[in-house]
A and B are shown apart, each in its own frame.
Chain A
Amino acid sequence: MTIKLKDICNQQDRLAPGHRACTGCSETTIVRQVLQAINGPVVVATPTGCLEIITSPYPFTSWRVPWIHVAFESVASVLAGIETANRSLVKQGKIKDQDIHFVAFAGDGATYDIGLQFISGAIERGHKFLYICLNNEAYMNTGIQRSSATPQGAWTTTSPVGKVLPGKTQPRKDLTAIIAAHNIPYVAQAAPHAWRDLMTKVQKAVAADGPSFINVLSPCPRGWRYEPNETIAISRLAADSCVWPLYEVDHGSCRLNYKPSQRSPLIDWLKSQGRFGHLLRPENKPLVDELENWVANEWARLVKRCQ
């Protein structure tokens, strides 16, 4: 299925304009890309987080599709309940089969941390839904606190830069690999600058016969400390520096979707965002070297896996 820009432009957005996202927020861009990639009806569930509060301040809603928010941690279970209800009601002939796609949009806090049990349980049971992680690498809605998606060395308000600690001291959790280890039909990493890649992945995901998961890097100007007009450039730099590889695990087979001809040095990535500002100090040079090694090793490991 080729994705044509012209077709996209002629579609009505399923997320209405006038929401309350910060200037330069990538989340609403990603949500629109995802929903435009899906043909046919969708039902969306969102846990507590930025996306929920910016799109649903009662009595307003930005959602032109059926949408539910219940709580922070258990969106996977809520969506599993909806998907199961649909299956049951269709099976019993109580409603007609509308070929609905079920989609969750959840932040990294709701996915990597507090919601991990729920998503693991739901995908193990095989509920047919697409789970999109809007990964901005920290708890942005509560004001930039570290999550297990936060990269090593990043400043957040709960991994502050102090006299003895240089920001977050642990590398991030490899959630995409953890989800892939559940052996579900489709798992991928994506980023909003590569919109065609992202939308193609969404189409593969919803076509899969079972659960699918896409971890989408979601640059956040407020939390990452960069100018709002740089969001897409930052997203591209993440892929070029191999900090955020674009790849997929399609029915068990791992494939790199983007291989930079020459990997951008990590220092360019670090320089682009205020959350890494302290790493540019001379005394943190050893840590930068350590991070450079980490990225190189992770990349090499992934390339090998995708051979």
Chain B
Amino acid sequence: MQETQYVKGKFVALEGDRVVAEVMRQINPDVVAAYPITPQTEVVQTFSEFVADGRVDTEFIAVESEHAAMSACIGASAAGARALTATCGAGLALMWEMLWCASGLRCPIAMAVVNRSLSAPLNILTDQTDMMGARDTGWIQIYAENHQEVYDNAIQAVRIAEHPDVVLPVMHGLAGFVLGHTLGRVEMLPDEVVKEFVGSYKPRYSLLDIEHPTTFGAYDHWDYFFEHKRQQWEGMNCALKVIAEVGEEYGKLTGRHYGLVEPYMLEDAEVAIVIIGSAAGAVRVAADQMRAQGVKAGMLKIRCFRPFPPSAVAGALKDKKAIAVMDRSSCFGAEGNPVFIEVCSSLFQRGIRAKVVDYTYGLGGRDTVPGEFCQVYRDLLQVVQTGVAEPVFRYLGLRDF
């Protein structure tokens, strides 16, 4: 496999999965343990070819399941190695128990998640049910809107995870097929710039430090477990600052600045859509179209879902007359879906009584086009006009039958 060469000032066209594999090549991690699953397969496949051609120093473990992939990454990380992996959907679900072990053992593993729905019924296409289901596993979660962000997030994920104030695993999401299998424009960095930016991994403890034998994963009872979890909280809290700092530093390097959230036409907006991931692109188009019609429409894209940035979200939305939160996953039986719950909680804690509605959209890979988001803006105008937010829970793009 020919690697993609950096050419100064040139953009390249790459599939999202390929972007992830190229970043893994540039980072040149010590260990990658991964298992193929649609629509992530091309990440593993491409990276295997880099290994076969000797383009990386990485030891690649072609494991027999995603559970084994995460288990091996944990072992490698505890042994002081920089370990990366990638998965999606059912694979992430199979890892679930190990996700908690990785964060609880403070293993700074970085993982690309090519977002896919969960069965049943079987569906291999994109939504965010997989990562939203793992939102409380102690992993940091960031999401990409487009191919460039896939590239940039994959690089930053390593720095965030290994930061001494954080030391927690990071998963970075990209929409399966929509980003993973389509060509997108990416400005790459030279290999040596990526290597310098991520630096080398310096573990605090290692199983391979024979002179200082360390016990990892001790049995923890009622007398210490709670305090250890409290320390994990601390790492998560620090991550808010670190993610912003790393995004800023990356911005200085590339001109592409990253934060916890990204507003679009939001400052003077009266109606706002809150969204995560690839569909933000369609919302931008919709906001432009509504602006052209004289509607003060804006968008708040949430990049970092774990830790959730409540102040940034509430600060950006505090004066909006009506807000639509878009959820690409379903939280059956709850008072709203994951993003909605977090947004409402952030507003409520700061005494902001906004009109907020929750749209479930795009499940199982259903496409959502700008025209549909224009309808959401029109629905919000209706909420403003009537002062009635009900029904709060709505579906976008669902056929009634």
Contact = CB atoms under 8 A, between A and B. Distances in A.
Interface of A: 41, 43, 45, 52-53, 56-59, 61, 63-71, 73-74, 77-82, 84-89, 91-92, 94-95, 98, 100, 117-118, 120-122, 124-125
B75 A82 contact: yes
A86 B64 contact: no
Interface stretch (B130-138, B184-192, B213-221, B274-282): B213-221
Interface stretch (B203-211, B248-256, B302-310, B340-348): B203-211
A67 B74 CA distance: 13
Given A41-B210, A64-B213, A71-B101, A117 B218 contact: no
B71 A118 contact: yes
A292 to B, nearest CB: 39
A43 B208 contact: yes
Given A61-B218, A63-B215, A85 B208 contact: yes
A77 B67 contact: yes
B38 interface: no
B224 interface: yes
Contact of A81 (B58, B75, B216): B75
B75 A56 contact: no
A81 B213 contact: no
| 9 nearest A-B pairs in the assembled complex, by CB-CB distance | A81-B75, A121-B64, A81-B72, A77-B71, A85-B81, A85-B79, A74-B71, A78-B75, A69-B217
Given A52-B219, A71-B97, A80-B33, 5 more contacts: A67-B207, A68-B207, A84-B61, A89-B208, A95-B208
B240 interface: no
B81 A117 contact: no
Give the size range of B's interface with the partner. 35 or more
B30 A92 contact: yes
B219 A57 contact: yes
Contact of B71 (A67, A70, A88): A70
A69 B207 CA distance: 12
B175 interface: no
B138 to A, nearest CB: 14
A67 B213 CA distance: 8
A249 to B, nearest CB: 23
A64 B218 CA distance: 14
Contacts of B219: 52-53, 56-58, 69
B73 interface: yes
A56 B215 contact: yes
Given A65-B213, A68-B78, A85-B81, A77 B68 contact: yes
Contacts of B209: 66
Contacts of A57: 218-219, 221
